Amino acid sequence: MQKHELKARVDGQIDEGKRELDVMKAKAAAATGDAKIAYGEHVSTLQKQYDELKIKAATAWDAADGKWDDVSRDIASAWDDWTDRAQKAWEDRSK
């Protein structure tokens, strides 16, 4: 994948991730009792991972061309993993 293609994909995932986190935060705030605590912990964990991935993505764009293939696979995999975790957390809390 070319650098500009991955950057466009990751930028889209960053925007989508922020929207998902905002919805999860609102649901956590509306929950009560143990569900509020558990949901809040999930959202906090996902927020931390999201912030770390945003930093990782920002530094990836400066990667030397010789390392681009490794960097692109790493960043794409990291975002895919985060998206899967966010979706699972959403599904678990939506039941």
Domain borders along the chain are: 3-94
Provide CB contacts within 8 A for 7, sequence distance 6+.
Answer: 61
Q: How confident is the model at residue 10 (pLDDT cuts 50, 70, 90)?
A: confident
pLDDT tens digits, one per residue of 29-77? 999 999 899 889 989 999 999 999 888 888 877 765 667 778 888 888 8
pLDDT confidence of residue 39: 87
- Quote the pLDDT of residue 58: 83
Under 8 Å between Cβ of 85 and 19: no
Query: Residue 68 burial by CB count (10 A; 0-12/13-18/19+): exposed, middle or buried?
Result: middle
> How many Cβ atoms from other residues are within 10 Å of residue 79's Cβ?
23
Angle at 85 between CA 9 and CA 56, to 5 degrees: 50
Output the pLDDT for position 25: 92
- Residue 60 has a pLDDT of 77
Structure tokens at 47: 């927020």
What is the predicted pLDDT for the residue at 26? 93
